[in-house]
Amino acid sequence: MINIAIVEDDKNFLNDLKNFLLEYQKDIKQKINISKFEDGLLFLEKSYMNFDIVFLDIKLPFENGISIAKKFRTINTDTDIILITALEKYAIDGYEIGASAFVLKPYDPKVLKRKLDFIIEKRSRNNSIKIAVKQDSNNISIALKDVVYIESSGHYCYLKTNDGNEYKKQIPLKQLEANYLSQGFAKVNGSTLINIAYLKSWSGKSIILDDDTSFPLGRSFKKSFYIQVASWNGFRE
């Protein structure tokens, strides 16, 4: 089952999107559970619910969607947020809160279907990938989606997870790079891979993750970093 929330004060648009999703579930042969909220504050009251995807209107009563998303991100970094906006220029705000895509009003059903296909396939793939690591003297597996960043030092790579733990793996960074750059990771300098899902912000010289860890953004890595972030987050028609 896929749990989806729609946070939208336009009742006509909300119901139209709901009907689209009910038809979409037939195409993908997966049950979609839909929760509807007409303002962001009501949504935040239910933020403990395990939503896979949230459609979030930028222009909402009481508090705008970007502000609501920032608060939601403090307790949930895994949910895919799809921003709804009538003006394309506001879509860039989505980078600030790690949005996975944006939907313009009125939306194109074919474009929306393609974006949902991309997000659902990405979630399915990330949930299934495991990495074998060492914890003390034990061999264990951790989920790729839980890895916030990977740093190399000497012959080892150190993987930091979203629960604050760090794991060591004897493997060249180049091998992890080859395996995971297509799985939502980006290389920010010669010794660091970051999980784009945990990217909070960046400038021309550094990037900051959700836990406020920062890394320098190498000059030679900037172009590929920007392309990877834009591509993975789905900011493409």
pLDDT given for residue 235 in this prediction: 46
Quote the CA–CA distance of 235 and 111 in Å, as a whole number.
Answer: 12
pLDDT number for residue 237: 41
CB atoms within 10 A of CB 138: 7
Return the SS3 of 71.
helix
Instruction: Report the pLDDT value the prediction gives residue 182, as an integer from 0 to 100.
Output: 75
Nearest of 166, 172, 167 to residue 134 by alpha carbon:
167
In sequence order, which residues have a C-beta less than 8 Å from that of residue 232 and are 6 or more positions away? 122, 184, 186, 196
pLDDT tens, position by position, 5-37: 999 999 999 999 999 999 999 999 889 999 999
Check residue 211 and report its DSSP letter.
T
Tens digits of per-residue pLDDT, 49-101? 788 999 999 988 888 888 999 898 887 877 899 998 876 666 566 666 778 88
Report whether pLDDT(236) > 60.
no
Least confident of 164-168, 181-185, 195-199: 181-185
For residue 39, give the nearest of 12, 21, 20, 59 by alpha carbon. 59
Q: pTM here?
A: 0.63
Residue in 194, 228, 232 with CA at minimum distance from that of residue 213? 194
Q: Which helix (H) or strand (E) holds 25?
A: helix 11-28
Instruction: Specify whether the CB–CB gap between 169 and 156 falls below 8 A.
Output: yes
| Residue 86 or 217, more confident | 217
3-state secondary structure of 84: strand
Let me know if 174 is exposed, middle or buried by CB neighbors in 10 A (0-12, 13-18, 19+): exposed
Q: Are 213 and 206 in contact (CB under 8 A)?
A: no
Q: How far lies 20's CA from each of 12, 24, 30, 116, 145, in Å?
A: 12, 6, 14, 11, 28
77, 198 contact by CB (below 8 A): yes
pLDDT, average across residues 110-114:
94
Summarize pLDDT for 121-176 with one digit per residue, the tens. Answer: 888 876 678 888 877 777 888 888 889 999 999 889 999 999 999 998 989 999 99
Residue ranges and CATH numbers for the domains of the chain are: 2-127 (3.40.50.2300), 129-232 (2.40.50.1020)
Looking at per-residue pLDDT, the higher value among 3 and 75 belongs to 3
Q: Are strands 206-209 and 199-202 parallel, antiparallel or unpaired?
A: antiparallel
Q: Per-residue pLDDT averaged across 177-191, rounded?
A: 88
